[in-house]
């Protein structure tokens, strides 16, 4: 995990993400790429008028000054930090930066005291998740203690879920987190019998791992909804992190067989990490 991207808007929640990313970077000797995206109109950048060009320079200089203050943190000492300013709010650019620098993770803060609904539904974080080919970690609170010892990976154990499962397993190994696999059987999730679930899970591991060794690690729980099942399970085992799968450019509205990842992100008090299918 050599490079970690942190998109910031200089808010309190951006600082939460920065501190969380710094904690991870310190453990793995990673470089932090801190991205701020200006909201400059195309006319400001392309016009030949001196006044307009001066306005663009002003905003760029202002961003550089804010970076200088924002990055003056004790917890960043000893960590390689590279600030990057982008002219437009084009969130696909973050994925381009990730590809260019071979980054392993994106860490973002979420706004709103009632969860991340305002951010994840049609706003900044969802836009990043939609375009990101690498995992995105959403931090919701001040990361006083950020030790990912126990991580929940919820899955419907479909063929589509193999890629995010393998990616999650790899990154959890890097983070030193024990992976708890969970399948939630619920009325809103196309209820299945135990033999049907066993067959689906066994076929999943044959394809994903080439063996059934990890089948015994799957926790099958029943609840009124998949969301409640995941959140209750995470709370019961004292998890530090919840991981969900997304369908990339289609956003977060296609986790399992419904719009469940949005609900998990909205209501979870834990950090949430997304993996693209």
Residue 41 above 60 pLDDT? no
Residue from 253, 264, 258 nearest 187 by CA: 258
242 plus 223 within the same structural domain: yes
Do 122 and 22 touch, CB atoms closer than 8 A?
A: no
Residue 268 above 90 pLDDT? no
Residue 259 above 60 pLDDT? no
User: Which tops the pLDDT comparison, 177 or 258?
Assistant: 177
189 plus 267 within the same structural domain: yes
Instruction: Give the mean model confidence (pLDDT) for residues 89-110.
Output: 86
Q: Indicate the average pLDDT of the chain.
A: 82
Helices (H), 10-113: 12-28, 42-46, 50-70, 92-101
Strands, E, within the chain: which ranges? 3-8, 31-37, 81-86, 105-109, 136-139, 150-154, 178-185, 218-222, 241-246, 272-276
Query: Is residue 34 helix, strand or coil?
Result: strand
Tell me which residue range forms the domain holding 243.
147-277
102 plus 188 within the same structural domain: no
How far apart are the C-alpha atoms of 169 and 179, rounded to whole Å?
A: 7
| Residue 261 confidence class, pLDDT cut points 50, 70, 90 | low
Domain CATH number, residue 196: 3.40.50.620
What percentage of the chain exceeds 90 in pLDDT? Answer: 47
| Residue 131 confidence class, pLDDT cut points 50, 70, 90 | confident
Last residue of a domain, one of 80, 115, 143: 143
Residue 10 above 60 pLDDT? yes
Please, which residues bridge with residue 109 across strands?
139
40 plus 15 within the same structural domain: yes
190 plus 265 within the same structural domain: yes
206 plus 263 within the same structural domain: yes
107 plus 195 within the same structural domain: no
Instruction: Give the mean model confidence (pLDDT) for residues 228-245.
Output: 93
- Identify the pLDDT of residue 202: 96
Do 109 and 13 touch, CB atoms closer than 8 A?
A: yes
- Identify the pLDDT of residue 113: 40
159 plus 276 within the same structural domain: yes
| Sheet with 241-246, side-by-side order of all strands | 81-86, 31-37, 3-8, 105-109, 136-139, 272-276, 241-246, 150-154, 178-185, 218-222
How many domains does one find in the chain?
A: 2
119 plus 35 within the same structural domain: yes
Instruction: Give the mean model confidence (pLDDT) for residues 87-97.
Output: 76
129 plus 1 within the same structural domain: yes
What percentage of the chain exceeds 70 in pLDDT? Answer: 78
| Residue 120 confidence class, pLDDT cut points 50, 70, 90 | very low
112 plus 224 within the same structural domain: no
Instruction: Give the mean model confidence (pLDDT) for residues 97-116.
Output: 78
Of 109-113, 180-184, 269-273, which range is least confident? 109-113
- Identify the pLDDT of residue 62: 79
Only one residue has tokens 């381009």, namely 96
- Identify the pLDDT of residue 107: 94
Residue 276 above 90 pLDDT? no
152 plus 201 within the same structural domain: yes
Residue 2 above 70 pLDDT? yes
Q: List pLDDT tens digits, range 185-207.
A: 998 767 899 999 999 999 999 99
Last residue of a domain, one of 127, 143, 159: 143
- Identify the pLDDT of residue 45: 46
Please, which residues bridge with residue 4 across strands?
32, 105
User: Which tops the pLDDT comparison, 119 or 234?
Assistant: 234
- Identify the pLDDT of residue 43: 45
Residue 52 above 80 pLDDT? no
pTM of the model: 0.82
- Identify the pLDDT of residue 142: 80
Instruction: Give the mean model confidence (pLDDT) for residues 236-250.
Output: 81
- Identify the pLDDT of residue 206: 97
Last residue of a domain, one of 104, 125, 143: 143
């Amino acid at each position: 995990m050599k490079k970690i991207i942190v998109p910031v808007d200089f808010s309190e929640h951006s600082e939460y993400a920065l501190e969380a990313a710094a904690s991870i970077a310190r453990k793995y000797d990673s470089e932090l790429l801190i991205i701020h995206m200006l909201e400059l109109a195309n006319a400001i950048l392309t016009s030949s008028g001196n006044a307009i060009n001066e306005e663009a320079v002003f905003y760029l200089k202002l961003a550089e000054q804010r970076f200088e203050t924002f990055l003056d943190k004790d917890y960043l000492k000893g960590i390689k930090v590279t600030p990057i300013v982008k002219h437009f709010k084009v969130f696909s650019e973050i994925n381009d930066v990730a590809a260019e620098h071979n980054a392993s993770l994106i860490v973002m803060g979420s706004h709103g005291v009632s969860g991340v609904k305002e951010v994840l539904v049609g706003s900044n974080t969802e836009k990043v998740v939609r375009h990101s080919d690498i995992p995105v970690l959403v931090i919701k609170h001040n990361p006083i203690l950020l030790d990912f010892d126990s991580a929940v990976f919820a899955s419907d154990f479909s063929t589509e879920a193999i890629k995010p499962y393998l990616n999650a397993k790899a990154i959890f190994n890097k983070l030193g987190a024990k992976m708890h696999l969970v399948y939630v059987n619920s009325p809103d999730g196309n209820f299945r019998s135990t033999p049907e679930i066993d067959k689906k899970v066994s076929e999943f591991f044959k394809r994903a791992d080439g063996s059934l060794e990890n089948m015994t690690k799957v926790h099958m729980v029943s609840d009124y909804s998949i969301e409640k099942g995941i959140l209750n399970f995470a709370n019961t085992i004292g998890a530090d992190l919840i991981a969900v799968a997304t369908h990339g450019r289609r956003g977060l509205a296609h986790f399992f067989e419904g719009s469940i990842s949005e609900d998990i992100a909205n209501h979870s008090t834990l950090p949430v990490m997304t993996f693209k299918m």
